[in-house]
Amino acid sequence: MVTPYEASFAEFSGCSVGAWLSDTPRNIKGKGMIWPDRAMLELLERLN
């Protein structure tokens, strides 16, 4: 997350941090890199 000024972690809302983290690739042991937001969409499609 790029900000035009120095900010403390407490200044970010939980929703904006969660959105930023879900749009960041994660390395899952044994599965390689995944994108959490894409993985959630795939899971929801399988439930229909």
Tell me whether residue 4 is in a domain: no
Contact 12, 31 (CB under 8 A): no
Whole-model pTM over 0.85: no
Give the count of domains, the chain.
1
- Express each pLDDT in 9-36 by its tens digit: 666 677 777 777 788 888 988 889 988 8
- Residue-number span of the structural domain to which 43 is assigned: 14-47
Tell me whether residue 2 is in a domain: no
**Predicted pLDDT at 3:** 56
Contact 37, 31 (CB under 8 A): no
Tell me whether residue 7 is in a domain: no
Tell me whether residue 26 is in a domain: yes
Tell me whether residue 34 is in a domain: yes
Tell me whether residue 8 is in a domain: no
Tell me whether residue 31 is in a domain: yes
Outline where the chain has alpha helix (H): 14-22, 36-47
